[in-house]
Structure 1
Amino acid sequence: MYFRGDDIDERPSVIIRCQDNLSVGISFRDRSSSDNHCVHYAVEVRAPGLSARLDEAVAWIGNNGDLAPFLERLAGNFTGWDGEQRWETDAHDLAVSAVFRPGGYVGLTWTLRPWRRAAGGWSASVTTHLEAGEQMASFAADIRHFLEGQAS
């Protein structure tokens, strides 16, 4: 299940929660842009006993290899696929793997890995499940709107 909307300080955000366990989720927030080519945003993952945040993910606007086009391709393939499909930022600090599940659901495993090369680096992952059709399409559209700074 996904939710779009504004957080407490009225800054746009996109939140997706797992259909199987609403306490598991990921949120995209704190979007900022210094030019027309890229945006910076924060990503937070939550699960029972886990809360982690990546402060500076980067999206390249108009790049077919970025997150929004990846999610749109998954949504367009609602009849399923074999194996795992993966995407990650250029800095490898945010990654998602997608697996088609029986019953028409997509399992999305989101991994945050800030400071990958620093001593004491860490990673955190959560898995969300969405209906492969309309839920995936709506989520993909919400991410595109968020990254491009448009109201959805």
Structure 2
Amino acid sequence: MTSRDTDTDDKAGVAIRCQDNASVGVTLCDRFSFDADCVRYAVELRAPRLTARVDEVVAWVRDSGLPGFLEGVAADYRGWDGERRRQTDDRDLAVSAAFRPGGHVGLTWALRPWPRAAGGWSASATTWLEAGEQMAALAADVRRFLAEEHG
């Protein structure tokens, strides 16, 4: 399940909650931009006994990025074999999608800031959504979130 959230500072975000376990989720938030070529945003993961955050994931305007990946997954709501994967150019966010019988998609969100640094860390959480409408809504929410201009 996804929802568009607004915090007290009036900055929008996208919250993704696992339909199998509501304590597992991902939030895209704190979007900002320095120039017309890219936007930056934070990604937060939460699961029982896990909280992780990367503050500056970069989305480039020149490619379809995460929204395009999610739209492709949503378009194949009848399923596929194997796993699909998308990662940012900096490799600090990777999302993989797997289809489960019964019409559900598992999105595994993996955070790994400073992937080339010694002593770095990584964390991941999997959210399960319905392959059709929930995936399409998530793709649309993420596209709007990354395209918004915050005064």
TM > 0.5 between the two?
yes
Residues 1-150 of structure 1: pairs in structure 2 closer than 5 A: 1-64=1-64, 66-149=65-148
SS in 1 for 2:44: strand
What is the rounded CA distance, in whole Å, between the counterparts of 2:21 and 2:60 in structure 1? 32
Shift of 1:10: 1.7
Cα gap change, 1:62/1:141 in structure 2, threshold over 3 Å: closer, same or farther? farther
What is the rounded CA distance, in whole Å, between the counterparts of 2:20 and 2:8 in structure 1? 26
Unaligned runs of 5+ in 2: none
Shift of 1:20: 0.6
TM superposition score normalised by structure 2:
0.95
Is 134-143 or 54-63 further displaced after alignment? Answer: 54-63
Shift of 1:60: 1.0
State the percentage of identical aligned residues.
62
Shift of 1:37: 1.7
Is 39-48 or 28-37 further displaced after alignment? Answer: 28-37
Shift of 1:62: 4.2
Cα gap change, 1:103/1:150 in structure 2, threshold over 3 Å: closer, same or farther? farther
* Deviating 4+ runs (over 6 angstroms): none
Shift of 1:102: 0.8
Is 78-87 or 142-151 further displaced after alignment? Answer: 142-151
Is 5-14 or 108-117 further displaced after alignment? Answer: 5-14
What is the rounded CA distance, in whole Å, between the counterparts of 2:147 and 2:62 in structure 1? 9
